[in-house]
Protein backbone atom coordinates (compact mmCIF):
# COMPACT_ATOMS: atom_id res chain seq x y z
CA UNK A 1 0.00 0.00 0.00
CA UNK A 2 1.36 3.38 -1.04
CA UNK A 3 1.57 6.08 1.63
CA UNK A 4 0.42 9.62 0.90
CA UNK A 5 2.45 12.28 2.64
CA UNK A 6 0.65 15.59 2.83
CA UNK A 7 2.85 18.57 1.99
CA UNK A 8 2.97 22.11 3.27
CA UNK A 9 0.33 22.95 0.59
CA UNK A 10 -2.23 20.96 2.58
CA UNK A 11 -1.30 22.82 5.75
CA UNK A 12 -1.64 26.12 3.89
CA UNK A 13 -5.05 25.05 2.58
CA UNK A 14 -6.21 24.23 6.12
CA UNK A 15 -5.24 27.70 7.29
CA UNK A 16 -6.76 29.37 4.21
CA UNK A 17 -10.05 27.45 4.58
CA UNK A 18 -10.23 28.33 8.28
CA UNK A 19 -9.60 31.99 7.44
CA UNK A 20 -12.32 32.02 4.76
CA UNK A 21 -14.98 30.24 6.83
CA UNK A 22 -14.09 31.47 10.33
CA UNK A 23 -17.38 33.35 10.80
CA UNK A 24 -19.56 30.65 9.23
CA UNK A 25 -21.56 27.99 11.11
CA UNK A 26 -23.43 24.82 10.14
CA UNK A 27 -27.11 25.53 9.38
CA UNK A 28 -29.13 26.18 12.53
CA UNK A 29 -26.22 25.42 14.89
CA UNK A 30 -23.26 27.01 16.62
CA UNK A 31 -20.93 24.40 15.10
CA UNK A 32 -18.08 26.00 13.12
CA UNK A 33 -18.49 25.34 9.39
CA UNK A 34 -14.82 24.43 9.21
CA UNK A 35 -15.65 21.06 10.85
CA UNK A 36 -17.55 20.08 7.70
CA UNK A 37 -14.60 20.98 5.49
CA UNK A 38 -12.21 18.88 7.59
CA UNK A 39 -14.63 15.93 7.54
CA UNK A 40 -15.01 16.06 3.75
CA UNK A 41 -11.23 16.23 3.29
CA UNK A 42 -10.77 13.27 5.65
CA UNK A 43 -13.30 11.21 3.66
CA UNK A 44 -11.56 12.08 0.39
CA UNK A 45 -8.22 10.92 1.79
CA UNK A 46 -9.72 7.72 3.21
CA UNK A 47 -11.26 7.03 -0.21
CA UNK A 48 -7.80 7.11 -1.80
CA UNK A 49 -7.88 10.70 -2.95
CA UNK A 50 -4.71 12.58 -3.74
CA UNK A 51 -3.49 15.80 -2.15
CA UNK A 52 -5.12 18.04 -4.75
CA UNK A 53 -8.47 16.38 -4.09
CA UNK A 54 -8.00 16.69 -0.32
CA UNK A 55 -7.15 20.39 -0.68
CA UNK A 56 -10.15 20.92 -2.96
CA UNK A 57 -12.31 19.21 -0.32
CA UNK A 58 -11.18 21.81 2.22
CA UNK A 59 -12.05 24.58 -0.24
CA UNK A 60 -15.10 23.08 -2.00
CA UNK A 61 -17.53 25.69 -0.61
CA UNK A 62 -15.16 28.67 -0.66
CA UNK A 63 -16.26 30.04 -4.03
CA UNK A 64 -19.98 29.64 -3.40
CA UNK A 65 -19.93 30.97 0.17
CA UNK A 66 -16.91 33.24 0.37
CA UNK A 67 -16.33 35.50 -2.60
CA UNK A 68 -17.20 33.91 -5.91
CA UNK A 69 -14.92 34.22 -8.93
CA UNK A 70 -12.23 36.23 -7.11
CA UNK A 71 -11.91 33.48 -4.50
CA UNK A 72 -11.56 30.88 -7.28
CA UNK A 73 -8.75 32.94 -8.80
CA UNK A 74 -7.02 33.11 -5.43
CA UNK A 75 -7.36 29.33 -5.02
CA UNK A 76 -5.84 28.86 -8.49
CA UNK A 77 -2.94 31.17 -7.62
CA UNK A 78 -2.27 29.52 -4.23
CA UNK A 79 -2.96 25.85 -4.98
CA UNK A 80 -2.87 25.43 -8.75
CA UNK A 81 -5.12 24.79 -11.74
CA UNK A 82 -6.13 21.27 -10.74
CA UNK A 83 -7.39 22.25 -7.27
CA UNK A 84 -9.23 25.24 -8.75
CA UNK A 85 -10.87 23.01 -11.39
CA UNK A 86 -12.13 20.61 -8.72
CA UNK A 87 -13.48 23.46 -6.58
CA UNK A 88 -15.13 24.96 -9.66
CA UNK A 89 -16.73 21.59 -10.40
CA UNK A 90 -18.18 21.44 -6.88
CA UNK A 91 -19.67 24.94 -7.09
CA UNK A 92 -23.35 25.12 -7.98
CA UNK A 93 -23.52 28.86 -8.65
CA UNK A 94 -21.46 32.02 -8.93
CA UNK A 95 -24.52 34.26 -8.96
CA UNK A 96 -25.54 36.64 -6.19
CA UNK A 97 -28.26 36.37 -5.20
CA UNK A 98 -28.34 32.66 -5.87
CA UNK A 99 -30.86 31.38 -8.45
CA UNK A 100 -33.88 29.42 -7.15
CA UNK A 101 -32.90 26.37 -5.10
CA UNK A 102 -34.48 23.64 -7.26
CA UNK A 103 -33.06 25.10 -10.49
CA UNK A 104 -29.54 25.19 -8.98
CA UNK A 105 -29.77 21.62 -7.74
CA UNK A 106 -31.06 20.26 -11.05
CA UNK A 107 -28.19 21.94 -12.92
CA UNK A 108 -25.67 20.63 -10.38
CA UNK A 109 -26.97 17.06 -10.72
CA UNK A 110 -26.79 17.31 -14.51
CA UNK A 111 -23.25 18.70 -14.29
CA UNK A 112 -22.08 15.83 -12.05
CA UNK A 113 -22.79 13.30 -14.77
CA UNK A 114 -19.95 14.63 -16.92
CA UNK A 115 -17.66 15.82 -14.11
CA UNK A 116 -14.13 14.54 -13.56
CA UNK A 117 -13.50 11.64 -11.18
CA UNK A 118 -11.89 14.12 -8.78
CA UNK A 119 -15.01 16.30 -8.70
CA UNK A 120 -17.18 13.21 -8.19
CA UNK A 121 -15.02 12.04 -5.25
CA UNK A 122 -15.12 15.43 -3.50
CA UNK A 123 -18.83 15.93 -4.25
CA UNK A 124 -19.71 12.48 -2.91
CA UNK A 125 -17.73 13.07 0.29
CA UNK A 126 -19.52 16.41 0.71
CA UNK A 127 -22.98 14.89 0.20
CA UNK A 128 -22.18 11.93 2.47
CA UNK A 129 -21.15 14.22 5.32
CA UNK A 130 -24.15 16.49 4.78
CA UNK A 131 -26.57 13.55 4.73
CA UNK A 132 -25.07 12.13 7.93
CA UNK A 133 -25.58 15.51 9.57
CA UNK A 134 -29.18 15.70 8.36
CA UNK A 135 -29.90 12.18 9.65
CA UNK A 136 -28.35 12.96 13.03
CA UNK A 137 -30.31 16.22 13.28
CA UNK A 138 -33.54 14.48 12.28
CA UNK A 139 -33.02 11.91 15.02
CA UNK A 140 -32.62 14.75 17.53
CA UNK A 141 -35.26 17.28 16.51
CA UNK A 142 -37.49 15.49 14.00
CA UNK A 143 -39.53 17.52 11.54
CA UNK A 144 -38.01 20.82 12.70
CA UNK A 145 -34.90 19.71 10.77
CA UNK A 146 -36.44 20.77 7.47
CA UNK A 147 -36.75 24.43 8.48
CA UNK A 148 -32.97 24.67 8.10
CA UNK A 149 -33.06 23.86 4.39
CA UNK A 150 -34.13 25.96 1.42
CA UNK A 151 -35.57 22.86 -0.23
CA UNK A 152 -37.65 22.00 2.81
CA UNK A 153 -38.52 18.39 3.54
CA UNK A 154 -39.76 17.41 0.07
CA UNK A 155 -36.95 19.12 -1.83
CA UNK A 156 -34.17 17.91 0.45
CA UNK A 157 -35.35 14.31 0.34
CA UNK A 158 -35.72 14.52 -3.46
CA UNK A 159 -32.22 15.98 -3.80
CA UNK A 160 -30.45 13.34 -1.73
CA UNK A 161 -32.33 10.40 -3.30
CA UNK A 162 -31.56 11.77 -6.77
CA UNK A 163 -27.89 12.16 -5.84
CA UNK A 164 -27.75 8.53 -4.65
CA UNK A 165 -29.26 7.37 -7.93
CA UNK A 166 -26.92 9.50 -10.05
CA UNK A 167 -23.77 8.53 -8.13
CA UNK A 168 -24.71 4.85 -8.49
CA UNK A 169 -24.62 5.36 -12.28
CA UNK A 170 -21.46 7.47 -12.55
CA UNK A 171 -19.05 6.64 -9.74
CA UNK A 172 -17.64 3.75 -7.73
CA UNK A 173 -16.46 4.28 -4.17
CA UNK A 174 -16.94 2.68 -0.76
CA UNK A 175 -18.48 6.03 0.23
CA UNK A 176 -21.39 5.33 -2.10
CA UNK A 177 -22.57 2.39 -0.01
CA UNK A 178 -22.49 4.57 3.12
CA UNK A 179 -24.30 7.40 1.33
CA UNK A 180 -27.02 5.02 0.15
CA UNK A 181 -27.50 3.60 3.66
CA UNK A 182 -27.76 7.05 5.23
CA UNK A 183 -30.34 8.28 2.71
CA UNK A 184 -32.30 5.00 3.02
CA UNK A 185 -32.37 5.39 6.81
CA UNK A 186 -33.41 9.02 6.59
CA UNK A 187 -36.29 8.14 4.26
CA UNK A 188 -37.31 5.25 6.53
CA UNK A 189 -37.44 7.48 9.61
CA UNK A 190 -39.37 10.19 7.80
CA UNK A 191 -41.92 7.63 6.55
CA UNK A 192 -42.20 6.13 10.04
CA UNK A 193 -42.93 9.58 11.54
CA UNK A 194 -45.73 10.43 9.08
Query: 23-36: b or e for each residue (b if 16 or more CB lie within 10 Å)?
Result: eeebeeeeebbbeb
Residue 64 annotated in active site? yes
Is residue 114 within 8 A of residue 52, CB to CB? The reply is no
Q: Which of 42, 65, 88, 187 is catalytic?
A: 65
- The 3-state DSSP class for residue 47 equals coil
Q: Does the bond joining 97 to the residue before it have cis omega, within 30 degrees of 0?
A: yes
Using CA atoms, how far apart are residues 29 and 180, in angstroms rounded to an integer?
25
Is residue 41 within 8 A of residue 66, CB to CB? The reply is no
What is the distance of C-alpha 48 from the center of its chain? 17
Residue 65 annotated in active site? yes
CB-CB neighbours of 95 under 10 Å: 10
Q: Which of 52, 53, 64, 92 is catalytic?
A: 64
Active site residues: 64-65
Amino acid sequence: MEHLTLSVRYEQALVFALHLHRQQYRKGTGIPYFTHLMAVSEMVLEDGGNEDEAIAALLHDAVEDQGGESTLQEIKQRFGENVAAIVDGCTDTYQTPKPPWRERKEKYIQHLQSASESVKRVALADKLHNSRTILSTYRQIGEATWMRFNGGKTGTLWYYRTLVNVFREIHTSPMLEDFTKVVDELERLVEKNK
